[in-house]
Chains A and B, each alone.
Chain A
Amino acid sequence: MVTALKQTLIDPSIYLPTYGVVRNVRPMTGMEKLFDIALPEGMSLGHKPGQFVEVSLFGVGEAPISICSSPSRSNGGFQLCVRRAGDLTGLLHTLTPGSPIGIRGPFGTGFPIERFRGKDMLFAPGGLGLAPLRSLINQVLDERSDFGRVIILYGARSPAELLFTDELAAWKARGDVEVHLTVDRGDENWKGNVGVITTLFPKVEVHPRNTVAVTVGPPVMYRFVLMELLGKGLPDGSIWLSLERRMKCGVGKCGHCQINHLYACQSGPSFSYAQIKHLGEAL
């Protein structure tokens, strides 16, 4: 029988991580690495796209990291794409295959993919936002016939900072995914679009009533992307985003992640725009 990792939180402590092991580490850009992690024999993560885990390095601390692999491709483990941003993430980057790593979770609600079936999907990740969205995108692609059009508008600061370039190319090559890329600043080899992510929106036409848009990126990006999406006539409830907050516990206790009355770690981090647009602290 397979135990869901979440079960381990019930006893003895919600703060007790389980040891996983790093199976593989793949550098992606100068700042991001992709970690492939296995849980102990007989245990599964059982996550939904959009959920996150708390990653522990004992002696250093914990950090919330989105699960970037799709549940439909679990392969006995899961993947995290981690940017070197500080203390813990800096040390994570020094890990090699075989290193133990503490995992708690999965936490959060995740995206309600069942509500997206039958719809056209517009994904608009910015920068590292592609990591959590990759989980959802791959699940959608694995159940491709359940969805209408699939459009990906992805922006990064520079060509060197584009994540998952091999997968982006593969998605494009499938023929049933529309992929548009942009970078804020090009380089000598870049032939594609230059400009912030919103410059991609005029390139696509969508049917507002039948489209779900999912956008994940840094806080500054949301206001502009939302303007574009609302400008295309998408209803508030069809626009989904993921709100990053400081998180310490992941289980709705420590208070750090609160957005007004909502705990991002419990009710989020994925929210529909309809859920949060009235909250003064959301955007």
Chain B
Amino acid sequence: MSAKPKIAFYEFTSCEGCQLTVVDSLQLYPELLEAVDIVRFREAMSEMGDDYAIAFIEGSCSRPSDEAPIKAIREKAALVVALGACAHLGGINTIRNRHDLGEVRRFVYGDKAEWYDTYPARPISAVIKVDAAIPGCPIDRHEFVRTVKRLLQGRAPELPDHPLCVECKLKENVCLYLRGTTCLGPIVRAGCDAICPTYGDSCEGCRGLVPNPNIEHLKEVLTEHGLSVDQTLAKMTQFLTYQVMEMEAAGHGDPQPAH
């Protein structure tokens, strides 16, 4: 890869919080701007370039008309990186995938519902091949920088494939289950430095599932700690809907052989 690759940012259905975190990363690591050439970035610049090697896409694909521009990005970019939970997993936009979409539309847009086209929200990888993803809602600044460094080295970025509890324990947090609450840590992919448990909040799984999660037994743990079936389901649907529905469609909630 050339010394200073050109990079561009795009956004689909999202809150643009991840791009704000990118702005934040640039402030934290000003050297970034010496390492890359940003040609398109709505959050921080007005003029737009159209010539880039790495495209970061924020947001999920939530309507058929998103597909063409997403595919156009793939055509141009050598590398496409899904930026944040919406792009990586469909994000909170996928909560509606469990409901009748006509109803969802009427609920959100009232009598203007017919003006908007929509379909089940999906991650960018459901539309085009993505080369890497930076999970999280919002993304983690350090992970963004780690990813950029690996791309600069000419290496494929790698996500941690262990659960959040590992990071949480290495930071020596007192487990939230011992503090009278619950947490999705055991089935969620690490990489955020367990930021939520560190501040005493339950992990909601914005980084998605770890490979081979033991969801069935985590549900039992949640029940044992007083969560109702509905509460458990709500926990599993905030960020994990798309992944869980995919696993259900593949015919198993728990693909890992126990023995």
Contacts and interface: CB of A to CB of B under 8 A. Distances in A.
Do any CB atoms of chain A lie under 8 A from CB atoms of chain B in the complex?
A: yes
Interface of A: 59-60, 87, 90-91, 94
B126 to A, nearest CB: 26
Contacts of A91: 154-155
B154 A87 contact: no
Contacts of A87: 155-156, 158
Contacts of B156: 87
Contacts of A94: 154
Interface residues on B, range: under 10
A39 to B, nearest CB: 26
10 contacts: A59-B153, A60-B153, A60-B155, A87-B155, A87-B156, A87-B158, A90-B155, A91-B154, A91-B155, A94-B154
Interface of B: 153-156, 158
Nearest to A90: B155
A94 B155 CA distance: 12
A229 to B, nearest CB: 30
B132 to A, nearest CB: 13
Nearest to B150: A87
B149 to A, nearest CB: 9
Given A87-B158, A90-B155, 5 more contacts: A59-B153, A60-B153, A87-B156, A91-B155, A94-B154
Contacts of A59: 153
A99 B156 CA distance: 22
Contacts of B153: 59-60
Q: Which 8 A-B residue pairs are closest in the complex by CB-CB distance?
A: A87-B155, A59-B153, A60-B155, A87-B156, A91-B155, A60-B153, A91-B154, A87-B158
B214 to A, nearest CB: 22
Nearest to B155: A87
Contacts of A90: 155
A90 B156 CA distance: 10
B148 to A, nearest CB: 14
Contacts of B158: 87
A90 B150 CA distance: 14
Contacts of A60: 153, 155
A91 B158 CA distance: 15
Interface centre among B155, B156, B158 (most CB of A within 10 A): B155
A4 B30 CA distance: 45
A94 B153 CA distance: 12
Nearest to A61: B155
A180 B67 CA distance: 55
A92 to B, nearest CB: 12
A256 to B, nearest CB: 14
Contacts of B154: 91, 94
A59 B153 CA distance: 9
A60 B154 CA distance: 10
A252 B138 CA distance: 40
A157 to B, nearest CB: 24
A124 to B, nearest CB: 31
A147 B56 CA distance: 62
A49 B229 CA distance: 60
A60 B158 CA distance: 12
A246 B156 CA distance: 20
A16 B156 CA distance: 26
B234 to A, nearest CB: 38
B160 to A, nearest CB: 14
B147 to A, nearest CB: 14
Nearest to B156: A87
A91 B154 CA distance: 8
A116 to B, nearest CB: 40
A90 to B, nearest CB: 8
Nearest to A94: B154
A89 B195 CA distance: 34
B11 to A, nearest CB: 30
A87 B156 CA distance: 7
A94 B158 CA distance: 20
A60 B155 CA distance: 9
A94 B154 CA distance: 11
A59 B155 CA distance: 11
A190 to B, nearest CB: 34
A237 to B, nearest CB: 32
A152 to B, nearest CB: 37
B155 to A, nearest CB: 6
A110 B153 CA distance: 35
Nearest to B149: A59
A90 B153 CA distance: 12
